[in-house]
């Protein structure tokens, strides 16, 4: 039986809540255990109105690597109330960025659109900032030494986010091929969060489900195209949102990327932790791990730092047995 030996997984878009609601300390500890069981040893928390990511870092930050924005920044009166703190003007934006940094944020998240909604014009609910407002927020974050990621849907809003200087597009529904090309040129990564939208269909009628499926199918085509031209894809589940479970939804997201036509080699390169964040643990995976969800965790220590570096770099070039990444077992 062949096994892949890879660095641990990273979920690039989570919330430390369950079905959109805050939980106890014990609940957060349980989420941490679920992540570890699934081989996920780094997560990026995308905020909540009560800054659950800060609490998670205190409770389980010694078990898994957590990067958090604490609160997301949204335009008052539009989408984002449960994700963070609203702002109305430039002064409020600057003050809030400073406050979030003092509380321990690792990056800044800004909300520049609503969500995919079948009841809204162009299937996107209202939300977001003007380009000038967004540009000022991004510049303020950069002045403070933090990167900024952006919740955004709709081609124009995505383009505005790229031009304003964000480093990552979160969700990114309805992005055009031209916009994806711009993302590649400006080294902006993309966390497409497909599974969480598919779970939304649980709440819909049959005719609405058909519309949503067409949106998802087009999104998968865009993901495939982005991967083909070299856009950096992040695996993010949006776990903690309604009907999206922490840990196991990671494999649902991987399965959808596989369904889009992306090969296993690329999927693993997107799914594993970056070299600078590497923990020293490894995962042993069968070739059908996406379907079986079977993960073995090992702490085998390489003989040298060079070997560690070599193994991590190999994550993007899986080969046959003997190339240092694929192993034969009995």
Q: Which residues make Cβ contacts (< 8 Å) with residue 291, sequence separation at least 6?
A: 255
Residue tagged 């009166």 (tokens): 77
Q: What's the pLDDT band for 2 if we cut at 50, 70, 90?
A: low
Q: Mean pLDDT over residues 73-97, rounded?
A: 95
The CA distance from 83 to 14, in Å, is 12
Predicted pLDDT at 121:
84
Predicted pLDDT at 310:
44
- Whether 173 shows a pLDDT value over 50: the answer reads yes
The CA distance from 112 to 106, in Å, is 19
Predicted pLDDT at 268:
94
H or E stretch at 150: strand 148-152
- Whether 16 shows a pLDDT value over 60: the answer reads yes
Write out the catalytic residue numbers.
Answer: 109, 238
Please provide the distance, in angstroms rounded to a whole number, between the alpha carbons at the two ends of the chain: 6
Domain count within the chain: 1
DSSP class of 226: H
Predicted pLDDT at 300:
62
Residue tagged 């570890």 (tokens): 36
Predicted pLDDT at 302:
44
Structural domain including 42 reads: 11-277
Q: What's the pLDDT band for 278 if we cut at 50, 70, 90?
A: confident
Assess if residue 111 is contained within a domain.
yes
Q: What's the pLDDT band for 324 if we cut at 50, 70, 90?
A: very low
Q: What's the pLDDT band for 18 if we cut at 50, 70, 90?
A: very high
Assess if residue 322 is contained within a domain.
no
**Percent of residues, the chain, with pLDDT higher than 90:** 80
Assess if residue 282 is contained within a domain.
no
Q: Mean pLDDT over residues 200-229, rounded?
A: 95
Assess if residue 240 is contained within a domain.
yes
Angle at 91 between CA 89 and CA 92, to 5 degrees: 70
Half-sphere exposure of 154 (CA within 13 A, CB side): 20
Q: What's the pLDDT band for 244 if we cut at 50, 70, 90?
A: very high
Tokens coding 36? 């570890």
Nearest to 197 by CA among 116, 261, 252, 120: 116
Q: For residue 97, give the CATH number of its domain.
A: 3.20.20.140
- Whether 86 shows a pLDDT value over 90: the answer reads yes
Q: What's the pLDDT band for 315 if we cut at 50, 70, 90?
A: very low
Predicted pLDDT at 230:
97
10 Å CB burial of residue 225 (0-12, 13-18, 19+) is middle
- Whether 299 shows a pLDDT value over 90: the answer reads no
Alpha helices in 186-304 (DSSP H): 194-200, 206-229, 249-259, 264-271, 289-292
Assess if residue 194 is contained within a domain.
yes
Tell me: the pLDDT tens digits for 114-135? 999 998 989 999 999 999 999 9
Predicted pLDDT at 303:
40
H or E stretch at 163: helix 155-164
Distances (CA, A) of 165 to 131, 134, 162, 186, 189: 11, 9, 5, 9, 12
Assess if residue 287 is contained within a domain.
no
Assess if residue 177 is contained within a domain.
yes
Assess if residue 3 is contained within a domain.
no
Tell me: the pLDDT tens digits for 142-157? 999 999 999 999 999 9
């Amino acid at each position: 039986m062949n096994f892949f030996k890879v660095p641990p997984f990273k979920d690039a878009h989570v919330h430390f809540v369950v079905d959109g609601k805050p939980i106890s300390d014990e609940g957060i500890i349980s989420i941490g255990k679920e992540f570890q069981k699934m081989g996920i040893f780094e997560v990026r928390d995308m905020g909540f109105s009560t800054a659950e990511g800060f609490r998670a870092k205190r409770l389980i930050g010694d078990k898994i690597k957590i990067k958090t924005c604490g609160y997301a920044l949204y335009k008052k009166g539009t989408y984002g109330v449960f994700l963070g703190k609203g702002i109305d003007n430039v002064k409020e934006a600057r003050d809030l960025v400073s406050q979030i940094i003092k509380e321990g944020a690792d990056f800044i998240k800004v909300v520049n659109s609503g969500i995919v909604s079948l009841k809204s014009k162009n299937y996107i609910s209202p939300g977001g900032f003007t380009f000038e407002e967004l540009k000022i927020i991004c510049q303020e974050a950069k002045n403070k030494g933090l990167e900024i990621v952006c919740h955004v849907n709709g081609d124009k809003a995505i383009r505005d986010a790229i031009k304003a200087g964000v480093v990552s597009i979160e969700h990114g529904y309805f992005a055009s091929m031209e916009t994806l090309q711009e993302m590649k040129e400006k080294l902006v990564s993309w966390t497409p969060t497909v599974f969480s939208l598919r779970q939304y269909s649980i709440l819909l009628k049959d005719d609405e489900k058909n519309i949503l499926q067409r949106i998802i199918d087009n999104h998968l085509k865009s993901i495939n195209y982005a991967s083909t031209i070299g856009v950096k894809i992040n695996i993010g589940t949006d776990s903690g949102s309604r009907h999206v479970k922490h840990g196991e939804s990671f494999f649902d997201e991987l399965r959808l990327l596989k369904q889009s036509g992306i090969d296993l080699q690329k999927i693993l390169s997107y799914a594993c932790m970056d070299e600078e964040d590497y923990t020293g643990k490894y995962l042993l995976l069968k070739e059908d791990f996406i379907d079986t969800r079977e993960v073995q965790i090992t702490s085998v220590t390489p003989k040298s730092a060079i070997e560690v570096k070599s193994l991590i770099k190999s994550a993007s070039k899986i080969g046959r047995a003997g190339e240092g990444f694929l192993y034969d077992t009995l």
